[in-house]
Structure 1
């Protein structure tokens, strides 16, 4: 796997989705790229749609 994993942040609540870690509790395995998450996915904390996330530098 490549090391160029990105982190995406919910604009509403600040939840961070890190591609490297995934979110196994939400069925997203480590290494799951943002582009591979369905467009109808929503933030597991507040329900904000995927389209309202921003890529952030950590």
Structure 2
């Protein structure tokens, strides 16, 4: 499956699976499904449920 991109619906922060977010403790290549449910948006604190898959 190709890497996907997820966006916080609250603030617009974007998570790209291919790039990960190493500065926030998520390794490159980490699938969104593998990110823990208790993980919050690093910009605004929104819940993981507040993210939506987007096409960029």
TM range (shorter): over 0.9
Task: With the length of structure 1 as denominator, give the TM-score of the two structures.
Answer: 0.93
- CA deviation profile, 1:10-53 (whole Å, cap 9, x unmatched): 00000000000000011111000000000010000000000010
Question: RMSD across aligned C-alpha pairs, in angstroms?
Answer: 0.8
For residues 45 and 13 of structure 1, the distance between their equivalents in structure 2, rounded to whole angstroms, comes to 7
Q: Any unmatched runs of 5+ in structure 2?
A: none
Task: With the length of structure 2 as denominator, give the TM-score of the two structures.
Answer: 0.97
The number of residues matched between the two structures is: 56
